[in-house]
A and B are shown apart, each in its own frame.
Chain A
Amino acid sequence: MKPLISRGALYVLPVALLTLIPLAVVLASFLQPQPEIWEHLAEFVLPEVLRNTLWLVLGVGAGVLLLGALLGWLTAVCEFPGRRFFAWALMLPLAMPAYVLAFVMVGLLDYTGPVQTFLRESFGEADWFPRIRSTGGVVLTLTLALYPYVYLMAREAFLSQGRRALEAAQTLGLTRRQAFWRVALPMARPWLAGGTMLALMETLADFGTVAIFNFDTFTTAIYKSWLALFNLPAAAQLASLLVLFVFVLAWLEAKSRGARRFHGKGGQGARIVLYGWPRWAAFGLCLTVLLVAFVIPALQLLQWGIKVWAEEVDARYWGFVWHSLLLALLAALFVAAGALLLTHFVRRFPDSVTQWLSRIAVLGYAVPGTVLAVGVFIPIAWLDDQLIAVVNALGGAETEVLKGTLAVMLLALAARFMAVGVQPVEAAMQRITRNQEDAARSLGVTGRALLWRLHLPMLRGGILSALLLVFVETMKEMPITLMTRPFGWDTLAVRIFEMTSEGMWEQAALPSLGIVLAGLVPVVILIRQTEK
């Protein structure tokens, strides 16, 4: 008889629990609603939060889909001036976290910002100028920050099948326009849907951007309930609602991934050369997006950074940098070890329980940081109470054991970014064939020796990618760090939050530059991979 829990499952379980416990804690709070909390939430919080979230999802969804698909189509299939350059340059905004773009936008376009000031001085009162701190402003900012998700997917879809399929359709008597609507676009649908769902999951998880715009969504409401009103149960209730929304998106994304699996790589047809006004419209659009989403914000950050350099770069600033780097390194090592463990044992014990647990372990990528922070904090606080009793009984006088240590933050970060780490390691593992493992076994290399002599050397590249990606993601991460950091343990992202919440854009520029520079590393690697 097979035991219910296999050996593989036992090894994988701890990694799965990282995600499973916070999720269970948060969802459990949904299952036992407390009427008085619900009444308060329903009356004062939910109406606005739900309305804002709805507009955000609709607006950003439509925005990234339209912009990403259009830019992907232009650079993958058409020919116009600067096409080669834009093809990779349009990925650059991936390096800039949405919250950085957000405060630069607000700083530039707000009433007191340089643009409106210039307009007023030149042409008198400029009340026609749209308010940037508005639903439209948030949607625009998030669209510009998140369109690359759809752009990358659309490009992949159109590059692999667009041109050849178009030519085939045209030989069957369709005009080019018909061929686009009836062949190229429907074929790319799983890619476009996948990219859009990823962008929307980021939107729901976003905390920094909406905080800067004072645009209340679930994430900011969770933050306020916990850290301003000290109402942890309310935060958990809100988190449980948000998780439900997010899992609908995650499910849709997984479905679109299934539809993408069976498309082979097609050959390359000739590019469509644009003439006349479309030629320059294409050029203009690409240039505008690149300028607004990356170049101008980056230059503005540089200008602000230089301005405040002398007063801002002191021991405290290096403290932020040190905290950011140390945290990112610890999280990267933690996640890479978890990812290696997961992939190794799933490979060695491919039973269904182990596989199922390994899938749970990577669910964190869909769960917003604010939710994970709540979900990790509640059980740790409970555990702390138990431990304190023990410590006190032993004669100690501690009031906190685990609470307020790096452990809480690391656990939440690891849960959030496990998928980021598992993906490259798993991809590398897939390149190790069953036969290579069987060959090793028949040559007497098994068990742990298999890990050291076959898996580790062959997974080296994947593990390095995992380290790098998790490192950068952790540096950019805001809500988990903000909500669970030990007292006084400020990172660059925390500094940005604190400065922007007081409207001090210039002081937020230097830490932002640090994060953007780190973010550029994986983007450059991505660009080199896709341009091969």
Chain B
Amino acid sequence: MALLEIDQLAVSYNGNPVVSGLALQLEEGEIGCLLGASGCGKTTVLRAVAGFEPVRGGTIRLAGATVGAPGRSVPPEQRRVGMVFQDYALFPHLDIAANVGFGLGKMNRAGRAERVRAMLALVGLEAMAQRYPHELSGGQQQRAALARALAPSPQLILLDEPFSNLDAELREKLAQDVRAILKAAGTTALLVTHDQHEAFAMADRVGVMHAGQIRQWSTPYDLYHRPMDRFVADFIGEGAWLAAEVNEAGEVTTELGVLNGIRCAEDATTRQLDVLIRPDDLVHDDTSPQKARVLARAFRGAEFLYTLALPSGQRLLSLVASHHNHRVGEEIGIRLETDHLISFSRQ
């Protein structure tokens, strides 16, 4: 049985439906992630799971018990759900130890002190116990908030954009740290973010959200390599759509020739296709007879991302090691190296 089961969830905000028909399942000990642009309703889902937003339709079940359904809502304080807020929401009038112990009101003094110590050790903040929130760095505050949420041993931890207030360089490191802490605590967690890198670094399962619904709920690898619809294919990673046709022999032909690779699209009956070419599918090869003109380039340190135009005007992206330094307007040789094809019927 899944720890968190959301079924046909509908939530409104100020009378407008924000989430509708949303479903997901999270197994015990798993880390899930809702990924989407701002305004897609992902934070609303999180707040509904926490019990801060009323459910208009569907159900939210925690460990088999229904905690949220229309007209039937277990209050947040009884759900045993911890939450780490985007701005951490630490209490400025309490030191870190008191912040972490805030939710341990039912324990006796010794038990509380012991639990606080254990939590601070888990997040590596033992030395900061007597400090106040404003004396900590952003990353330390975040870990303090995590320790506070973990302290009452919740069955589920929710994290709202946990890294958005931190420096970009710190994020990936912290995402790995937080993942390690959650795994060490054995806690089930659900986070929301708009950043794919964060989602991929943190989560076992990721749901791409759009307009209040989950378009695909799977592992990060499958999201990138086996997107189930055009939206997910466009949203995750980069790429360009290339027109293709299925010939009599069943091969996929394009203006770059026949594409080799496992076809994973389900709509195999149609002849007119669009194939997603990822920048890493298109290899720069000076010896290739196939030429493309450089339209633009973005330097990314180790690589260049070239925007290329085929003679037909078709545009493609290519990731090339940055010692291949070509000017805009130059013709360069290219070659497709596809392993599997992400293709959809032409629209």
CA distance A435 to B102 in the complex (A): 15
Q: Tell whether, in the assembled complex, residue B103 and residue A438 are in contact, meaning their CB atoms are under 8 Å apart.
A: no
Chain A positions 440-492 with a Cβ under 8 Å from a chain B Cβ:
440-446, 449, 453-454, 457-458, 460
Contact of A446 among B75, B82, B90 (CB under 8 A): B75
Docked-complex contact B93 and A442, CB < 8 angstroms: no
Which residues from chain A contact B106 at a C-beta distance below 8 Å? 444
Nearest-neighbour CB distance to chain A for B323, whole angstroms, equals 44
A53 → B minimal CB distance (Å): 46
Determine if B140 is an interface residue (Cβ-Cβ < 8 Å). Answer: no
CB–CB B52/A438 < 8 A: yes
Residue B91 interfacial (CB < 8 Å) = yes
Q: How far is the CB of A296 from chain B (nearest CB, A)?
A: 45
CB-based contact A440/B102 at 8 Å: yes
Distance in Å from the Cβ of B46 to the closest Cβ of chain A?
11
Q: A438, A449, A457, A458: which contacts B89 (Cβ < 8 A)?
A: A438
Given the interface contacts A444-B77, A446-B75, does A439 sit within 8 Å of B148 by beta carbon?
yes
Write out the residue numbers on chain B whose beta carbons fall within 8 Å of the beta carbon of A444.
77, 103, 105-106, 152
**A441, B73: Cα distance in complex, Å:** 14
A438-B76 contact in complex given A445-B103, A457-B93, A458-B92, C-beta closer than 8 Å? yes
- Chain A 417-443 interface 0/1 with B at a Cβ cutoff of 8 Å (1 = within): 000000000000000010110111111
- In the assembled complex, the Cα of A438 lies from the Cα of B46 at a distance in Å of 12
Interface contact A439-B83, CB-CB below 8 Å: yes
What residues of chain B lie closer than 8 Å to A436, measured between beta carbons? 89-91
Partner of A438, one of B50, B90, B105, B148: B50
Point out which of B82, B83, B86 has the most chain A C-beta atoms below 10 A from its C-beta: B83
**How far apart sit A136 and B313, CA to CA, in the bound complex (Å)?**
84
* Chain A residues whose CB sits within 8 angstroms of the CB of B86 once the complex forms: 435
With known contacts A457-B93, A458-B92, A458-B93, A442–B76 Cβ distance under 8 A: yes
A438 touches B77 (CB 8 A): no
B50 pairs with A442, CB closer than 8 A = yes
Q: Are A442 and B92 in contact (CB under 8 A)?
A: no
Determine whether the beta carbon of B103 is less than 8 Å from that of A443: yes
- Please indicate the chain A residues that have their CB under 8 angstroms from the CB of B105 in the complex: 444-445, 449
Smallest CB separation, B319 vs chain A (Å): 40
A454 touches B91 (CB 8 A): yes
In the complex, whether B81 has a CB less than 8 A from a CB of chain A is yes
One of A438, A457, A460 near B85 (C-beta < 8 A): A438
Interchain CB contact under 8 A, A439 and B77:
no
Closest A residue to B86 by beta carbon equals: A435
Option from A441, A453, A454 in Cβ contact (under 8 Å) with B77? A441
Answer yes or no: B87 CB below 8 A from chain A CBs. Answer: yes
* Cα distance A348–B297 in the bound complex, in angstroms: 54
Partner of B76, one of A441, A449, A454, A457: A441
Contact across chains for A445 and B77 when beta carbons are under 8 A apart: yes
Whether A442 and B83, one on each chain, are in contact in the complex, defined by CB atoms closer than 8 angstroms, is yes
Given contacts A438-B52, A438-B83, contact A443 B77 (CB under 8 A): yes
Question: Does A443 lie within 8 Å of B85, measured CB to CB?
Answer: no
Residues of B within 8 A of A460 (CB): 93
A457 proximity list for chain B (CB < 8 A): 93-94
Contacts of B81 in A (CB 8 A): 442
Q: Which 5 A-B pairs have the closest CB atoms?
A: A443-B103, A435-B89, A435-B85, A439-B89, A444-B77
12 extra interface residue pairs, beta carbon distance < 8 Å, beyond A441-B77, A445-B102: A433-B89, A436-B90, A436-B91, A439-B149, A442-B77, A444-B106, A445-B77, A445-B103, A454-B91, A457-B94, A458-B91, A460-B93
28 A-B interface contacts by CB (under 8 A)? A433-B87, A435-B86, A436-B90, A436-B91, A438-B83, A438-B85, A439-B85, A439-B89, A439-B91, A439-B145, A439-B148, A441-B52, A442-B50, A442-B83, A442-B103, A442-B149, A443-B148, A443-B149, A444-B103, A444-B152, A445-B77, A445-B103, A446-B75, A446-B77, A458-B91, A458-B92, A458-B93, A460-B93
